[in-house]
Amino acid sequence: MTKYTSKHFNLERVSKGIYAAIAKDGSGSVGNAGFIDLGGKTIIFDTFNTQQAAEDLKNLAENITNQPVSWVVNSHWHGDHIRGNQVFKNCNIVSSQTTLQKMKENHPQRIAKQKEDLTGLNHYLESLIEQRKSSTDLNLDNKINFLREIAISLPTLELVLPQYTFNKVFTIYGTERTAVLMALGNGHSYCDSILYLPEDEIIFMADLLFVATHPSYFPESNPSHWESILNKVMSFEIQKAIPGHGPIGTKKDLAKLMNYIKELKMISNEDIHLDEVPIPDQYKEWASPELFKQNLKMLR
């Protein structure tokens, strides 16, 4: 698998004309993204957490496909999948209707508040840098680097909304392949969309799939429906699955996440103190272990 690198992500060739941009820790990406050469047009799937990460993605996509980006997909409304949209403001940006609605409801206030507190962010960053001088905690490096990218992003960050929406299915045709966007409803977020490439049997799952990584539950998450969505996607022909977080996976990783959701629901229903529950053996090596307890408490 050919790899291209950016400060923000590793670009992996999934198949001819199909690339996954796997986020690096402590960078301006946070979530995964990717791009697809449909033949005659290029699609970007998600735009990262900062415009500087999105700029790298756009440049690589246009250099590799030798054509401008035509379409941009926002899988859901969370910042690490849409805050790079301004880099693609001259492209066709599409999302589910619910994603557009939640972006309009939430992001203007969030971005304005963060911009107002840029001085506070820089002071906090300076305190972490000072703390790192006497600490052996390497996680501090990732935190510092991540906040640096936010501080770079904020002064010029602007919210760019999708110009096109769909409710269930939106299909984009190229001369080489077809991209089918599906809004699958409330799982991880209020509405999660996937991009399926039927001719290649490759799927971009966004945050409906976490590979070797604990998923993140939010108050809006619906684990039972999330499990149903994964069960539905299991019926698709899939060779490779690109998650929102973690490395490229396969159908086996969808099954593992379904089991995780089931197991956490069972544990949360038991009459036990959740802080005393150890991470089950099969998930002990997964990234972001701190989310295990948070997810259990979210279910209570």
The 3-class secondary structure across the chain, one letter per residue, is: CCEEECCCEEEEEEECCEEEEEECCCCCCCCCEEEEECCCCEEEECCCCCHHHHHHHHHHHHHHHCCCEEEEECCCCCHHHCCCHHHHCCCEEEEEHHHHHHHHHHHHHHHHHHHHCHHHHHHHHHHHHHHHCCCCCCHHHHHHHHHHHHHHHHHHCCCCCCCEEECCEEEEECCCCEEEEEECCCCCCCCCEEEEECCCCEEEEEEEEECCECCCCCCCCCHHHHHHHHHHHCCCCCCEEEEEECCCECHHHHHHHHHHHHHHHHHHHCCCCHHHCCCCHHHCCCECCHHHHHHHHHHC
Higher pLDDT, 165 or 1: 165
Are 262 and 146 in a shared domain?
A: no
Whether the predicted model's global pTM rises above the 0.85 cut: yes
8 Å CB contact between 15 and 38: no
Give pLDDT, residue 54.
98
Q: Domain range for residue 114?
A: 103-156
Give pLDDT, residue 4.
66
- CATH number of the CATH domain containing 194: 3.60.15.10
Mean pLDDT of the chain, nearest integer: 96
pLDDT greater than 50 at residue 113: yes
Average pLDDT over residues 78-100: 98
Are 256 and 286 in a shared domain?
A: yes
Going by pLDDT thresholds of 50, 70 and 90, the confidence category of residue 147 is very high
Are 29 and 59 in a shared domain?
A: yes
Give pLDDT, residue 188.
98
pLDDT greater than 50 at residue 1: no
Are 152 and 184 in a shared domain?
A: no
Are 86 and 136 in a shared domain?
A: no
8 Å CB contact between 42 and 68: yes
State how far the Cα of 27 lies from the Cα of 6, in Å rounded to an integer: 10
Are 270 and 241 in a shared domain?
A: yes
Are 94 and 112 in a shared domain?
A: no
Token digits for 65? 């496909």
pLDDT greater than 70 at residue 73: yes
Over the stretch 232-278, which tens digit does the pLDDT of each residue have? 999 999 999 999 999 999 999 999 999 999 999 999 999 899 888 99
Give pLDDT, residue 5.
72
Over the stretch 17-58, which tens digit does the pLDDT of each residue have? 999 999 999 999 999 999 999 999 999 999 999 999 999 999
Final residue before a domain boundary, out of 136, 156, 176:
156
Are 116 and 245 in a shared domain?
A: no
Are 149 and 123 in a shared domain?
A: yes
Nearest to 120 by CA among 96, 95, 147, 99: 147
Are 31 and 148 in a shared domain?
A: no
Final residue before a domain boundary, out of 139, 156, 173:
156
8 Å CB contact between 108 and 203: no
Give pLDDT, residue 2.
43
State how far the Cα of 127 lies from the Cα of 119, in Å rounded to an integer: 13
Share of residues in the chain with pLDDT > 70 (%):
99
Q: Per the structure, how many domains does the chain have? A: 2
Are 120 and 184 in a shared domain?
A: no
Are 125 and 265 in a shared domain?
A: no
Over the stretch 120-130, which tens digit does the pLDDT of each residue have? 999 999 999 99
